[in-house]
Structure 1
Amino acid sequence: MNKVQISQVLKHVGRKVADQNEQAILDEDEIQELEQLRLEVYDIIKTIKDPEEPGTLEELEMITEDLVSVRKENGLPSIRIEWAPTNPECKCALTIALCIRTKLFQQLSVQNAKIDIYIKEGKHSIKDQIDKQVNDKERVLAAMENENVVAVIADLIQEPKSH
């Protein structure tokens, strides 16, 4: 990896890691690992289907590669995903956010990663409420106790069938 490539990767993965209240610069291997994780996250979530519109989150441009960032926080990966509903009154925004969290939980190769999911600023009328709910463990568990919610999520996160 040359310096230009490294600087491009740093744009997405963050430069520093908290290590006992000291900042340490990431080495090239750590940078590459974080970039691979960022791309893995994107590959996992891009195929989630929208519950109302025909298409996936990627096809509908609700999620793009540059909206996924990964960095180290206290020695562990910290993943931040921003996404944009198709409209500011989208009634399925929480369902979509739960799909993102569920699919990552099921398929992400890294254990113990912190995952934060946020709606892009100005893209939903109740952004703060949805962000709070999808990033609160107890609220997510409560939502997942509803069999109907679980069934909808299972359908939306199912990988498309190959021909």
Structure 2
Amino acid sequence: MVMELSNANPVVYEKKERRIRQAPENTDENAAEPIDQLEIFDHIRDIKDPEHPYSLEDLNVVTEESVEINDELSHVKVTFTPTVEHCSMATVIGLCLRVKLMRSLPPRYKVDIRVAPGSHATEAAVNKQLSDKERVAAALENPNLLDIVEECLSPTFG
């Protein structure tokens, strides 16, 4: 069986230089350190694209600017842009983003994953699937889909 790629020749972008975050000077050992936009981006930038040997950052699917965080309200929103408007892997990419952040962030955070407005032919359907906890849980119970997610999240990517 030959799988047809949604975007056989994606544009590969230059990665942003990694910056080192400075620790706050006055630290209370019992207080949780606030999480910022760069930290969230660092968690998701190296997720592998399910169809190509590139990261989501390489393909400009996620950018630092696509991450919004309100630490006071414990809310993170990531808006991603598929490489083509008919991307068949948009839901899988969103699932990978959600799983990575669920595993990386403290449980107090609400994570909202969305397709950028106007960037996908079935934007509303993809956003509905990604925001439905039951659908996400059911997807992660599918061993084949879970294997794809785990492969995309594997740390062997450089």
TM-score interval for Structure 1 and Structure 2 normalised by the shorter chain = 0.7 to 0.9
TM-score calculated relative to the size of structure 1 = 0.73
Equivalent residue number for residue 129 of structure 2: 133
Structure 1 residue 160 displacement after superposition: 2.6
Large movers: runs of 4+ above 2 Å: none
Matched-pair contact (CA < 8 Å) for 1:46–1:57: yes
Gaps of 5+ in 2: 1-26, 28-32
Equivalent residue number for residue 101 of structure 1: 98
Structure number having the greater helix percentage: 1
Equivalent residue number for residue 160 of structure 1: 156
2:140 aligned with 1:144: yes
SS at structure 2 position matched to 1:156 = helix
- Alpha-carbon spacing, 1:161–1:130, altered in 2? closer, same or farther (3 Å): closer
TM-score calculated relative to the size of structure 2 = 0.75
CA RMSD of aligned residues (A): 1.7
CA distance in 1, matches of 2:41, 2:82: 16
CA distance in 2, matches of 1:123, 1:65: 18
1:78 corresponds to which of 75, 83, 106: 75
Per-residue CA deviation, residues 18-55 of structure 1 (Å, 9 max, x unaligned), is: xxxxxxxxxxx9xxx55x43222111111111111231
Structure number having the greater strand percentage: 1
